[in-house]
Amino acid sequence: MNKIITEITPLSEKDCFYLIDRYKDRFTYPIHRHEEYELNFVSNCDGARRVVGDSIERLGMYDLVLIGNGIEHGWEQHECMSDKIREITIQFSSDLFGSSFLAKTQLSSIRRMLDLSSNGIAFTVESIMKVYHKLDNLTKIESGFYRMLELMSILYELAEGGHYRKLSSSSFASLKPTGDSRRVQKVQDHINKHYKEDIRLNDLADLVGMTPTAFSRFFKLRTGRSISDYVIDIRLGHASRQLVDSTTSVAEICYECGFNNVSNFNRIFKKKKGNSPKVFREIYQHHKMLV
């Protein structure tokens, strides 16, 4: 199976960021990855489809996402009928702000947002409307210094609003769990290592010295998800990665990722990802190119 294309961005060590504003009638660039952060805005894209990691979504009139950590992403025409698509792409290096600068209290919301972008994050229409004029203005400012200030202003507005959601699963993006509790992290680490095996609530509760009922409540309070949902999401993330990176059959992937019934795996996958495993793989294969 071919590899996902790795994009070499035009950024040099002396550049703050790369900006391109373009109008087009089709999405043609294949699914790709790169090490730089990317803030990508699209308008007049109703019916287009966005792929970020194992997230595949149909778009409305506007779309704004922040991509980090080299995760695969791309946009495709799908059912979009517009011939006046506008796309503003901003790419910047992970060391643009520097860790010591981002550690400042005033930038904590930006730091948190950049961390979450490793999964890819999508912003609400409300957030998009708040920064739309700034994005448009960014393309018109001539001074590089004031462009840099405007970019920071955009990131701050998006981060402070907090109206965004994670797209790809962490297991697909090969990210370590980041629970805010040692007990939660211990359980998450255990699940990540043993997701192929039978995972029982009693065993997880014993792992952190709690009763099953108390632990179940505690885990949901801390993560916003039940244990069963979390385990399913981890397994689906690994299954999605195998669908993208291998030619292993759907049935084999089902059992290798901890599911014990193919029809049940297909049903859950489609419910969570919006497409069957077969269609999910076809979407990626359709866009694959040699590096």
Q: Is 155 inside any structural domain?
A: yes
| Edge-to-edge strands, sheet with 62-67 | 18-24, 85-92, 37-43, 62-67, 121-123, 164-166
Partners of 75 in the β-ladder? 50
- Does residue 287 carry a pLDDT above 60? no
Give the list of residues 6+ apart from residue 281 with CB closer than 8 angstroms, or none.
Answer: 243, 244, 250
Decide which of 118, 139, 166 is a domain's last residue. 166
CA distance 227 to 220: 7
Q: Cα(237)–Cα(232) distance, rounded to whole angstroms?
A: 9
Tell how strand 85-92 and strand 37-43 pair up: antiparallel
Tell me, yes or no, whether 162 and 186 share the same domain: no
84 shares its domain with 207 = no
Between the alpha carbon of residue 139 and those of residues 96, 133, 147, the distances in Å are 19, 10, 8
Q: From 131, 166, 201, give the residue that closes a domain.
A: 166
Q: Is residue 18's pLDDT more than 70?
A: yes
- Residue 257, C-beta contacts closer than 8 angstroms, at least 6 positions apart: 195, 196, 235, 236, 238, 239, 242
Pair (24, 149) in one structural domain? yes
What does the pLDDT look like over 60-108, one tens digit per residue?
Answer: 999 999 999 889 999 999 999 999 999 999 999 988 988 899 899 999 9
Give the C-alpha separation, 16 to 145, whole Å: 9
Tens of pLDDT, residue by residue over 169-181, are: 988 887 776 656 7
Task: Answer yes or no: do 116 and 236 share one domain.
Answer: no
| Shared-domain flag, residues 91 and 162 | yes
Residue range 133-144: average pLDDT?
Answer: 93
* Helix, strand, coil share of the chain (percent; to 5): 45, 15, 35
- The tally of domains found in the chain comes to 2
Residues 150 and 17 reside in one and the same domain: yes
pLDDT band at 8 (very low <50, low <70, confident <90, very high): confident
Over residues 28-57, the mean pLDDT reads 94
- Are residues 201 and 87 in contact, defined by beta-carbon separation less than 8 angstroms? no
CATH number reported for the structural domain that contains residue 199 in this entry: 1.10.10.60
CB burial string 35-55: b at 16+ within 10 A, e below: ebbbbbbbbbbbebbbbbbbb
List the domain range (segments joined by +) for residue 246.
Answer: 182-287
Please count the residues of the chain: 291
What's the rounded Cα separation, in Å, for the pair 96 and 9? Answer: 15
Closest CA to 288 of 74, 24, 87: 74
Q: Which amino acid is at 138?
A: L
Are residues 161 and 25 part of one domain?
Answer: yes
Mean pLDDT, the chain, as a whole number?
91
Q: Looking at the predicted structure, is the pLDDT value of residue 250 above 70?
A: yes
Amino acid identity at 12: S
The packing angle between helices 227-245 and 182-194, to 10°, is: 40
Tell me, what CATH number does 122's domain have?
A: 2.60.120.280
User: What is the Cα–Cα distance from 181 to 22, expressed in whole angstroms?
Assistant: 45
* Percent of the chain clearing pLDDT 70 (strictly above): 96
Mean per-residue pLDDT, 250-279: 95
Helix (H/G/I), strand (E/B), else coil: 124: coil
Of the residues 102, 133, 166, the one at which a domain ends: 166
